[in-house]
Amino acid sequence: MDREAVVDLGAITANVAALCELVRGSQVLAAVKADGYGHGMVPAARAALAGGAAWLGVADLDEAVALRRAGITAPVLCMMTFGDPAEAVRHDIDLAAGSAGYVAAVEAAAVRAGVQARLHLKADTGLSRGGATPADWPGVVAAALAAQARGSVRVTGLWSHFACADMPGHPSITAQLASFADAVAVAEKAGVTPEVRHIANTAAALTVPESRYDLVRFGGAVYGLSTLPGGAPSWLRPVMTLRARLAMVKRVPAGTGVSYGHRYVTARETTLGLVPLGYADGVPRGAAGLPLVSARGRRWPIAGTVCMDQFVVDFGDEPAAVGDEVVLFGPGDDGEPTAQEWGEALGTISYDIATGIGARVPRTHPGGDH
């Protein structure tokens, strides 16, 4: 195979098992949205469940239904609150609602389907994205309880999401925890009896134990990634290795311009190797010139502009050959770059790197029968 993203399912299972141990007493939700953070949604979901995850989390309704169609019966929370929820209701998906209007949409879908919908009410405690503001929260709770009284809805969860949990010590963390406690108190005083309350994401669960409540939503940590400074703790293993094989090798003289714009020109006679991955595959154009490629036992910079489908490495006098393996990122066992390093070098996060790997790069899934 000339290029592939190798996904170690055994590492997902081991990561989730370690996370379950860390937050013992709270259930674990493994987020498998965005095609399992680029790792493959269904295989990642099965591997996470094998590690002890009690729940799976997705972003949209199509992802949720796809898990059911794959035969996965574990509880699934769909975390975004728009679109027609009818099919998700029929597939026993837990839905999020942060407005009275969406509570009504879920109730209407449940009535049409003839089933009771499961609903997690979302409070906006400071992210200012989805969820009900403190002013709107009592109305959302009232609407949900009215629907529950009619038998069409069951309020199964209360939840929120942090804005700055990956910035340890940020004052908003404490403020959001207090706001969420207030929201829970308002809902429970009104008569909500949730199965789970949850606000902690990966960063919060790792650094703010009091945020764990009944359920913890782990995203990047499932895949050995984190947005915390320095990345994930060492006991979590990065799951994906992105690699390719040199498609062409050629010897060129000094003064040879390389790739679009000739932004790189060879300083002497040298060997160039062609890697069949480009920005259409998720290799950022901004990686030009950075030592983010591992081959023949050492790091190499990308020579010149990253193209849509390929990029070039200047190997100097190294005896590179067609078919030699090139690793862009992996767990770092052999000195290769990690997704964390790619993110830091490009001013972004490891999640951006992993989820950006394009669909035409085959995912292979050794490490488990999932």
> Which pLDDT tens digit goes with each residue over 278-317?
999 999 999 999 999 999 999 999 999 999 999 999 999 9
Condensed to tens digits (0 to 9), the pLDDT of residues 214-227 reads: 999 999 999 999 99
Condensed to tens digits (0 to 9), the pLDDT of residues 89-140 reads: 999 999 999 999 999 999 999 999 999 999 999 999 999 999 999 999 999 9
Q: Which of 33, 37, 213, 279 is catalytic?
A: 33
pLDDT of residue 368: 55
Token pair 């200012």 in the structure block, residue: 128
- Residue 89, in any domain of the structure: yes
- Which amino acid is residue 46, in one-letter code? R
Q: Which of 177, 194, 223 is the last residue of a domain?
A: 223
| Same domain, yes or no: 195 and 307 | no
- Residue 358, in any domain of the structure: no
Q: Who's near 326: CB < 8 A, 6+ residues apart?
A: 243, 244, 245, 246, 273, 275, 293, 294, 295, 313
Domain count, the chain: 2
Token pair 């503001």 in the structure block, residue: 133
**Shortest CA distance to 235 belongs to which of 72, 14, 42, 7?**
14
Rounded to two decimals, the pTM is 0.95
- Residue 174, in any domain of the structure: yes
Q: Which of 189, 213, 250, 260 is catalytic?
A: 260
| Same domain, yes or no: 183 and 61 | yes
| Same domain, yes or no: 138 and 188 | yes
Is 33 noted as a catalytic residue in this protein?
Answer: yes
pLDDT of residue 367: 61
pLDDT of residue 369: 52
Domain range holding 114? Answer: 9-223
- Residue 332, in any domain of the structure: yes
Q: Which of 223, 251, 273 is the last residue of a domain?
A: 223
| Same domain, yes or no: 101 and 247 | no
